[in-house]
Amino acid sequence: MQIVVKNISKDFGKKRTAVHAIKDISVEVDQGEFLGIMGPSGAGKTTLLNMISTNERPDHGQIIIDGLDLTQLHDRDQAKYRRNKMGFIYQSFELLDSLNVKENVILPLALNRSNKKLIEERFIYMMQLLNIENLSARAIDELSLGQRQIVAAARALINRPEILFADEPTGSLDSKSATILLNYMQMINQKEKTTILMATHDAFTASYCSRVVFIKDGVIFSEIVNPGNRDKFFEQIINMQRTIGGGDYFNVSQNN
């Protein structure tokens, strides 16, 4: 599924105090690509991800997925599209505490009113794929942070989304849990040919991607393609991060 983002921009706040979160960004993502979006805090990573995933509307520009301009769709149709074609992993997991693990994971299928047999089949497959069969009856409160994120990933993937959006998926995890999650994401990307868009500020996390775009102050600053060697790619990312710096958010003290 090819994603074409054309000249999108987004402002927050009122006229005088408006913040230009995204300024005329264009980017293309190929089918089955694992794209990382990097940049300092406040650069516009999450806003870009939210707009591509139709959770927010851009002020200008187009988001075309497989020839369909999502910005022209009604909210209701956007929600339907989101539910059918997309999966989401958030830093804060966004699991429903009132539901147990199984109910959280099967929720996207239940929302699509899939038949019970399919729901059970997909659930078993997903639990085996992510190696979390023993968690199915557990309450969310009883899980570790790493387990929660894996469950969130299972929920995101159960309806075989064509695009997986991950916003700082490793942000709340320790390095071991983060590595496990990233391995799973890479596996899904390769096995299921799922297109993944991941926003992160962590170089190690980004090194799992096939390509990384760097955003600074709402514009694309640069991009690096994975040369096939993760260590080398990691170094390239670190170097680019040094070049970009912390962004305005971190430069406040320097200005003083």
**17 near other proteins, rule: CB under 8 A:** no
Question: Which of residues 56 and 223 has its CB atom nearest to other proteins in the complex?
Answer: 56
For 195, other C-beta atoms within 10 Å of its C-beta total 23
Does the CA dihedral 59-215-81-19 come out positive or negative?
A: negative
- Output the smallest distance, CB 221 to other proteins, in A: 28
Does the CA dihedral 230-233-234-235 come out positive or negative?
A: positive
Question: 9 has which bridge partners?
Answer: 60
CB within 8 Å of 64: residues ≥ 6 apart: 3, 4, 5, 6, 70
Q: Residues in contact with other proteins, total (CB under 8 A)? A: 28
Residue 256, burial from CB neighbour count under 10 angstroms (0-12, 13-18, 19+)? exposed
Interface mask (CB under 8 A) for other proteins, residues 129-158, using x and -? --------------------------x---
**111 near other proteins, rule: CB under 8 A:** yes
**116 near other proteins, rule: CB under 8 A:** yes
Q: How far is CA 4 from the centre of its chain?
A: 16
From 1-9, 88-96, 195-203, 231-239, give the range in contact with other proteins by CB under 8 A: 88-96
**107 near other proteins, rule: CB under 8 A:** yes
Question: What is the contact surface with other proteins in residues (CB under 8 A)?
Answer: 55, 75-76, 79-80, 82-84, 86, 88, 90, 94-99, 103, 106-111, 113, 116, 119, 155
